[in-house]
Chains A and B, each alone.
Chain A
Amino acid sequence: EDQVTQSPEALRLQEGESSSLNCSYTVSGLRGLFWYRQDPGKGPEFLFTLYSAGEEKEKERLKATLTKKESFLHITAPKPEDSATYLCAVQGRGTSYGKLTFGQGTILTVHP
């Protein structure tokens, strides 16, 4: 059974204070690891897909990296508008039909 654990549960940063969110996973053969952003009262919004260890992807102040056991979402010089819940999900080779297993999310708050 695929499992995803995200840490920390909540993170408070000052504007400009860089940090990282962690996503640890166990999966029977990784097909893809996904990062989503979720704003209060809205559905998750797709950010990145990573497919293999060593892969990195960037979007504005966000950079996602992947190892064989975990993924990090690095936030460089965050702004208040980066405040949201960040979700990690995996799709393993043992699953079918695009099903994803999600972590519980990290609630990020960036203070001005």
Chain B
Amino acid sequence: NAGVTQTPKFRVLKTGQSMTLLCAQDMNHEYMYWYRQDPGMGLRLIHYSVGEGTTAKGEVPDGYNVSRLKKQNFLLGLESAAPSQTSVYFCASSRGGVMIYGYTFGSGTRLTVV
């Protein structure tokens, strides 16, 4: 009964380094999302996916790339980290389709870029 699992939970990067955040869900959800959460700015959508092999840009996509090669996994990549990408990153999933469903969130990844 894991739900949505994010790895790693914490990471410190130097400016210019790259890394990949992994999100895995075991609920057979179609839709997956990456959000970042910053103080005073709420949750902002970075990228999302409506199914295996699909990705789309959200509100703040610059500096990030994503891939969804398998339905259960959604990867968020930072090719060249910048201090402005210091944030808490949340992955979420939902069933998708014409019905309206809430999200199931992961526990987050706290990323610091120095």
Contacts and interface: CB of A to CB of B under 8 A. Distances in A.
Interface of A: 4, 31-32, 34, 36, 41-46, 49, 51, 87, 89, 91, 97-100, 102-105
Interface string B71-93: 00000000000000000001010
* For the complex of A and B, 5 pairs with smallest distance between CB atoms: A43-B105, A102-B43, A32-B100, A104-B42, A46-B102
B107 A42 contact: yes
Contacts of A42: 107-108
25 contacts: A31-B100, A41-B107, A42-B107, A43-B4, A43-B90, A44-B90, A44-B105, A46-B103, A46-B104, A49-B100, A89-B43, A91-B100, A97-B50, A97-B56, A98-B31, A98-B101, A98-B103, A99-B48, A99-B58, A100-B45, A102-B43, A102-B44, A103-B42, A104-B40, A105-B42
B108 A87 contact: no
Contacts of B105: 36, 43-45
A42 B33 CA distance: 17
Contacts of A49: 100, 102
Contacts of A91: 100
Interface of B: 4, 31, 33, 35, 40-45, 48, 50, 56, 58, 90, 92, 94, 96, 100-108
Nearest to A102: B43
A41 B96 CA distance: 27
A87 B35 CA distance: 14
- B-side interface mostly: strand
Contacts of B4: 43
A43 B104 CA distance: 9
Contacts of A98: 31, 94, 96, 100-101, 103
Contacts of B104: 46
B48 A97 contact: yes
A43 B106 contact: yes
A97 B96 contact: yes
Nearest to B90: A43
A99 B33 contact: yes
A42 B104 CA distance: 12
